[in-house]
Structure 1
């Protein structure tokens, strides 16, 4: 019985390596695969708001916290990067596309978590504090819509 756990661990390790697939050498021009990057935008409402709705053309005042996306954690929140409160006009490309798409449709008083793939974030170039091809996790509270 002492051998049971190491045997299971070895089996899981081998199984995970076989899931990686072969290396045909043809990248097909696609971006490098990054496990710390969600495949698509994911919006999760933690609290539904009851006030005005954030729609294109309106100015949204939000409070947010930003983390790097981490596939290794249950909530996908890796390194915390910043928290801030600011306003921006929806539909004007004032923020990254994933953030704007995540805020759109929220109602005042709502709290939403969004997982943003790098293609809707800072892309392959990244930005200060965000490496290239990194996914992001935002927790957003919609304070006001004008």
Structure 2
């Protein structure tokens, strides 16, 4: 969640911290600035005053990386005749922000080793359970019988029965070889002659042979019909080409996401891809879409850091930075509904402002 404070000249802002927060940047208000340097100071626990940065017209902003925890007693004030704007975000109850990059990498490696070990244990347990299940005998009438063997025997029996039935269907059963009497032989011979006469075709009943072309069912109009279909296809293709002619397809590097956010990849990085929950570090510059006036930028040092997808920046950033690879650069055109809305962020960002950011992903985690 965003945190901000405007420190006016001659005023001291003291408090005991209720909710932990992080200060990311100090920016000089040019509308009240003179040629003199403005110094930002911190009084921590009433013990010592610390200089945080010096700002002037030539160096109008500085990146800071300060965390204040609940219960800290602090005072912020300036030396000079101009206001300084502080910006950052609330830390909440999440302790991950206090972890260094090395701590986060070691924690991820430990989690991967634990996951691999657990997967190995689960696999071994599964194999052992299957082995025990297969080796367990099934008791019947006091005798142990292996179930897989019984199933194989039953399958073999079924196969033999199916083969026997197939053979019976293919070969009719032959009568028993009993000697035939003379009368039986005569009857059998007569029956064979009658069967041969029935099977032989009669010349008068033979159907006239049709020409080969008619049997194939070819239609004299078949060829013109095919030509007409080909002609229709060509005309349809020509009409589609004329509709799409002159239209420039949208570049795959430029996309419009739900809510009106326009994302354009100026350079695709070659490093790891950012995802929700990653701690990312970016360089950026922000301008008003209406007149191109720059209102903010970070282009040196470790960059601006935030946890992606946790609502610690404007929603357009959470959506637009997701999926970037380290080393890549994107242009984000963010409507007011995904930025600072109807209230804006005066004096730099007016109400209902569309913002344009060029963001370069320097590192993650």
User: Number of residues paired by the alignment?
Assistant: 102
5+ long unaligned stretches in structure 2: 1-258
1:74-111 deviation per Cα after TM superposition (whole angstroms, max 9, x unaligned): xxx61111111310001210100001111000000000
What's 1:74 paired with? none
2:64 maps to 1:64: no
What's 2:295 paired with? 81
Task: Give distance in 2, aligned partners of 1:41 and 1:142.
Answer: 18
2:315 maps to 1:97: yes
| C-alpha RMSD of matched pairs (Å) | 1.2
> How far off is 1:52 after superposition?
1.0
What's 1:110 paired with? 328
Task: Give distance in 2, aligned partners of 1:116 and 1:53.
Answer: 21
2:272 maps to 1:55: no
Task: Give distance in 2, aligned partners of 1:92 and 1:44.
Answer: 23
2:340 maps to 1:126: no
Q: Normalising by structure 1, report the TM-score.
A: 0.67
Q: Normalising by structure 2, report the TM-score.
A: 0.27
Structure 1 stretches of at least 4 aligned residues deviating more than 6 Å after TM superposition: none
Give the 3-state SS of the residue equivalent to 1:78 in structure 2. Answer: coil
Q: Which has the higher contact order (CA 8 A, sep 6+)?
A: 1
Greater share of helix: 2
5+ long unaligned stretches in structure 1: 1-38, 71-76
